[in-house]
């Protein structure tokens, strides 16, 4: 599966903290980069988006219900600071800053120990995908 959150550490109001251990045997390390593997930045971003989806599910009463699923609508201000290597365990924090209608504006930070490796801002809309049958 395409899952990049191992567990939820804490959840309070508009903040969720999760954890991910980047295992050396994962397939993407074979090509990124052979002999010098680092975790692809896009997967670090994906771990933040998945933590954001978990936060939204908690805030809105569960995923896959009548309200639909979280859809990523915008990503801004992405800043990579340090690489993440196989075997590293990262902490992912997402925070909902504001809600306007069905849109939820969030920030995300990934840390390796006490060092920030990624920060970004993003928005999520909770929608029914086309073709989804109403219950």
Q: What percent of the chain has a predicted confidence (pLDDT) above 90?
A: 79
- Residues annotated as catalytic are 32
**How high does pLDDT run on average in the chain?**
92
The two beta strands, 89-100 and 7-12, are unpaired
What pLDDT digit, counting tens, does each position of 65-76 carry? Answer: 556 788 999 999
What pLDDT digit, counting tens, does each position of 108-126 carry? Answer: 999 999 999 999 999 999 8
Q: Report the predicted TM-score, pTM, of the whole model to 2 decimal places.
A: 0.91
CA nearest neighbour of 106 among 126, 125, 127, 122: 122
The pLDDT, as a whole number, for residue 21 is 99
Sign of the four-CA dihedral 65, 67, 68, 74 = negative
The pLDDT, as a whole number, for residue 63 is 52
Q: How far is CA 37 from the centre of its chain?
A: 21
Class of domain 7-127: alpha beta
Q: How confident is the model at residue 55 (pLDDT cuts 50, 70, 90)?
A: very high
Q: Identify the residue whose tokens are 């990579």.
A: 80
Pairwise pLDDT comparison (40 vs 60), residue with the higher score: 40
Pairwise pLDDT comparison (63 vs 93), residue with the higher score: 93
């Amino acid at each position: 599966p395409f899952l990049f959150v191992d567990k939820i550490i804490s959840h309070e109001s508009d903040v969720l903290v999760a954890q991910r251990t980047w295992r050396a045997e994962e397939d993407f390390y074979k090509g990124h980069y052979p002999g010098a593997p680092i975790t692809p930045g896009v997967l670090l971003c994906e771990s933040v988006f998945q933590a954001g989806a978990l936060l939204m599910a908690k805030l809105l009463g569960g995923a896959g219900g009548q309200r639909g699923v979280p859809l990523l609508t915008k990503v801004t201000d992405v800043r990579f600071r340090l690489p993440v290597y196989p075997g590293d365990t990262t902490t992912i924090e997402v925070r909902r800053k504001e809600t306007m209608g069905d849109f939820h504006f969030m920030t995300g930070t990934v840390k390796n120990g006490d060092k920030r490796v990624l920060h970004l801002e993003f928005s999520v809309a909770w929608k029914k995908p086309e073709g989804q049958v109403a219950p």
